[in-house]
Amino acid sequence: MILVADDEQPARYGMTRALESLDCEIIEAEDGQQTLDLIRSRAPDLVFLDLNMPVLDGRQVLAELGRQPQEYAAAEIIVVTARDDVTTAVECVRAGAADYLVKPYEVDHLRSIATRSAERVRLQSRVDELQQQVDREQAHAFC
């Protein structure tokens, strides 16, 4: 599942249209609080997060998710912004974003980021499953 979080409806529409070919469920949020609520209730695998949104901006969303990193660790956050600023990009990655996308973006680049992120999420899920299996086997070995 992909969450597209942007306060501008045309931006959400364009991104959603570009991602439809990936054959994933896509949900939308128009402000930072709605973004947090959807992450908590729907647990998307990938979030495209605009930095400039009302109620809570993208940085505040990242900070809130960072306070509970284990609970929302599965979601890959891709920051999307019109600011092509290295300092902002570094701050966002340090705060937990997996990548940084500058508007206007190429549709193929957007899809590529989504595909790579989906693969990372799939691989991490598999690693977690295998770790749980190893933990169970080790627990049974000591009984």
Tokens 């960072």 correspond to what residue? Answer: 66
Annotate 54-117 with DSSP letters as a single string. Answer: SSS-HHHHHHHHHHSTTTTTT-EEEEEES---HHHHHHHHHTT-SEEEESS--HHHHHHHHHHH
- Give the residue, 69 or 127, on which the prediction is more confident: 127
State yes or no: pLDDT of 74 exceeds 70. no
Domain extents for the chain? Answer: 2-141
| CATH for 2-141, options being 3.40.50.261, 3.40.50.2300, 3.30.390.50, 3.30.465.10 | 3.40.50.2300
Other beta carbons within 10 angstroms of residue 35's beta carbon come to: 29
pLDDT digits (tens, 9 = 90+) for 8-57: 999 999 999 999 988 889 999 999 999 999 998 998 989 999 999 999 99
Tokens at 17, concatenated: 């249209």
pLDDT at position 51:
93
Cα–Cα distance for residue pair 70/96, rounded to 1 Å: 12
Q: What is the pTM of this model?
A: 0.84
- Burial of 114 per CB tally in 10 Å (0-12, 13-18, 19+): buried
Q: Give the CA count within 13 Å in the CB-facing half-sphere of 74.
A: 16
Mean pLDDT of 64-81: 78
